[in-house]
């Protein structure tokens, strides 16, 4: 079973990492092309392109200018320890048993606008580039066109016949993986909370639940759909009647 998640905008490059293990991103050459384009954009251009404040634009302008290869432990950090958003809070890698870090490395993949596809221990440098950003690079109109089938084909190389791919990424990010290219079907867990008389996806809770499910899969060595249905963290329960096709709905 492989798992895909989205990255986070919030980053931590200050705290220390409890492991010396690291790997290099698979598509660093493509990342360099994207960064070369980002380096040409002024703070005002970044603000307009990404719909961010002038302060955030200034921060990311500096990040773009400072970004350089090769990546080392002195100028970069392992992705799973660098991202700090809700999904990653749910995973809580710092409390993961040391022997399970390699399992996480084998099974989890992080989609990224700049890096394409990351393993947890891949080194990254600070950046902000959401997959939905309409950044034109050469003849490619946006990042979906830039990555094209690259990410899906890389996943195919890792997936064994019949292996499950669990999609815990946001719609913005999993759109970079054309379903027709994948050699296995994607299973997409959906998390809904009961509010105002109906079940609905509340994104604040859903993001953290995605992280909880990653942790559940790793902690319990989940490999089948039936085992996946046993997810019960934070009072979520599988709903047979609300699930359909490749979408597994969990409610609370």
For residue 23, report the phi and psi dihedrals to the nearest 5 degrees. -135, 170
The crossing angle, in degrees rounded to 10, of helices 54-66 and 43-50 is 110
Q: Is 251 in a helix, a strand, or coil?
A: strand
Q: How many CB atoms lie within 10 A of CB 61?
A: 19
- CA atoms of 41 and 136, how far apart (whole Å): 12
Cis ω on the peptide bond leading into residue 70 (within 30° of 0)?
yes
The predicted pLDDT at position 215 comes to 98
Report the chain's mean pLDDT, rounded to a whole number: 96
pLDDT in tens, 183-194: 998 999 999 999
Angle at 108 between CA 166 and CA 202, to 5 degrees: 55
Confidence of residue 179 (pLDDT cuts 50, 70, 90): confident
pLDDT band at residue 84, thresholds of 50, 70 and 90?
Answer: very high
Round to whole Å and give the CA distance between 28 and 26. Answer: 6
- DSSP letter for 62, please: H
pLDDT in tens, 16-31: 999 999 999 999 999 9
Of the candidates 158, 225, 151, the residue with the CA atom closest to the CA atom of residue 186: 225
pTM of the model: 0.97
Pairing of strands 186-195, 247-251: parallel
β-pair partners for 110: 5, 118
pLDDT at 245 over 90: no
Residue 162 is predicted with a pLDDT of: 87
- Check: CB of residue 205 under 8 Å from CB of residue 87: no
Whole-angstrom Cα distance, residue 68 to residue 94? 27
Residue 251 C-alpha from the chain's centroid: 23
Nearest to 118 by CA among 160, 89, 90, 76: 76
Q: Which domain holds residue 230?
A: 2-251
Number of domains forming the structure of the chain: 1
Q: Give the span between the Cα atoms of 116 and 13, in whole angstroms.
A: 20
Distances (CA, A) of 116 to 108, 124, 216, 250: 14, 12, 25, 29
């Amino acid at each position: 079973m492989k798992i895909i998640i989205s990255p986070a905008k919030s980053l931590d490059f200050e705290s220390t990492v409890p492991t010396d293990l690291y790997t290099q991103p698979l598509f660093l050459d493509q990342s360099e092309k994207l960064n070369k384009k980002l380096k040409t954009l002024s703070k005002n251009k970044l603000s307009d392109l990404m719909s961010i404040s002038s302060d955030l634009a200034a921060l990311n302008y500096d990040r773009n200018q400072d970004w350089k290869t090769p990546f080392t432990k002195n100028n970069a950090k392992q992705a799973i320890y660098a991202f700090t958003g809700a999904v990653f809070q749910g995973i809580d890698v710092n409390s993961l048993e040391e022997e399970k870090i390699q399992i996480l490395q084998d099974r989890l993949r992080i989609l990224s606008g700049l890096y394409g596809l990351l393993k947890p221990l891949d080194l990254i440098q600070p950046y902000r580039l959401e997959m939905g950003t309409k950044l034109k690079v050469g003849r490619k109109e946006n990042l979906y066109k830039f990555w094209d089938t690259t990410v899906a084909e890389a996943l195919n190389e890792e997936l064994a016949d019949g292996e499950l791919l669990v999609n815990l990424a946001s719609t913005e990010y999993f759109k970079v993986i054309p379903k027709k290219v994948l050699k296995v079907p994607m299973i997409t867990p959906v998390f809904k909370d009961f509010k105002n008389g109906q079940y609905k996806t509340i994104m604040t809770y859903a993001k953290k639940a995605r992280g909880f499910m990653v942790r559940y899969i790793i902690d319990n060595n989940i490999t089948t759909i039936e085992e996946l249905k046993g997810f019960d963290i934070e009072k979520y329960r599988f709903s047979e009647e609300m699930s359909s096709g490749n979408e597994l709905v969990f409610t609370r």
